[in-house]
């Protein structure tokens, strides 16, 4: 949070110390550094008491923070942006669960998985549909029920290695598409230069109608 007209216009008339409020908000949200977080301020204009309530960031923001990216895939079916371990899904589900209406933690896990699909994130080297099917079959039951969030270093290494191969293939496809588009544009430009100019057609004079 930084000083600005919107904050000053609301806090100033009530005689609230804006600098202290901003400092307190930043301290309260320090664990969400780099993530946009909704914050509610409740102010008593008589006592000048300010209470701060930090709301849960959107699931998409938590996923991007976990991946260390600013933007998700603009074409999720063609471009993958990361490869989660199931433990990372559980970690985000834990962060979101208390702020959702559902008491079913499994439902929260599936909600996070759905957002992973929308952003173009693989889970355990697999597409989301396959992971959801595995969950229905009982796989990851132990991890989900125990709410395990620690990823084994060897597993993390394998997931990163798999995604590195995916990223390499994606980059190759993207370069090929860019080269193809460039060649097509050059071909169109060349055809436009070679095209004969269309001869100008002289306009015939229009005779005015005689009045009866």
Domain range for 22 is: 5-54
Q: Both 69 and 49 in a single domain?
A: no
Q: Model confidence over 66-94: pLDDT tens digits?
A: 898 877 666 656 789 999 999 999 999 99
What is this structure's pTM?
Answer: 0.68
CB distance 81 to 121 below 8 Å: yes
Residues 101 and 141 both lie in one domain? yes
118-161 confidence digits (pLDDT tens): 999 999 999 999 999 999 999 999 999 999 999 999 999 999 99
Same domain, 64 and 47: no
The two beta strands, 82-84 and 121-123, are: parallel
User: Could you give the number of structural domains in the chain?
Assistant: 2
Residue 119 · residue 76 · CB < 8 Å = yes
The tokens for 143 are 């991890």
Q: Is the pLDDT of residue 200 over 80?
A: no
Residue 161 within a domain: yes
Query: Nearest Cα to 95, choosing from 170, 146, 25, 32?
Result: 32
How far, in Å, are 77, 129, 141, 143 from residue 109 at the CA level? 22, 14, 11, 11
Q: With pLDDT > 90 as the criterion, what percentage of the chain qualifies?
A: 38
Residues near 19 by beta carbon (within 8 Å), at least 6 away in sequence: 3
> Does residue 148 lie within any of the structural domains?
yes
């Amino acid at each position: 949070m930084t000083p600005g007209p919107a904050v000053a216009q609301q806090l100033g008339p009530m005689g609230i110390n804006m600098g202290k409020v901003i400092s307190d908000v930043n301290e309260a949200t320090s664990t969400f550094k780099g993530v946009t977080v909704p914050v509610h301020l409740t102010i008593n204009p008589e006592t000048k008491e300010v209470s701060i309530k930090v709301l849960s960031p959107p699931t998409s923001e938590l996923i991007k923070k976990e991946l260390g990216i600013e933007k998700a895939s603009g074409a999720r079916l063609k471009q993958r942006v990361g490869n989660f371990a199931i433990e990372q899904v559980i970690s985000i589900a834990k962060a979101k669960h208390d702020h959702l209406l559902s008491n079913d933690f499994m439902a929260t896990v599936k909600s996070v998985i759905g957002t992973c699909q929308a952003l173009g994130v693989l889970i355990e080297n697999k597409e989301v549909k396959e992971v959801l099917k595995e969950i229905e079959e009982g796989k990851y039951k132990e991890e989900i029920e125990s709410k395990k969030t620690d990823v084994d270093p060897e597993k993390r290494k394998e997931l990163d290695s798999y995604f590195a191969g995916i990223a390499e293939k994606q980059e190759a496809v993207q370069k090929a598409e860019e080269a193809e588009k460039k060649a097509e544009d050059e071909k169109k430009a060349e055809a436009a230069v070679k095209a004969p100019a269309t001869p100008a057609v002289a306009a015939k004079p229009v005779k005015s109608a005689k009045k009866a």
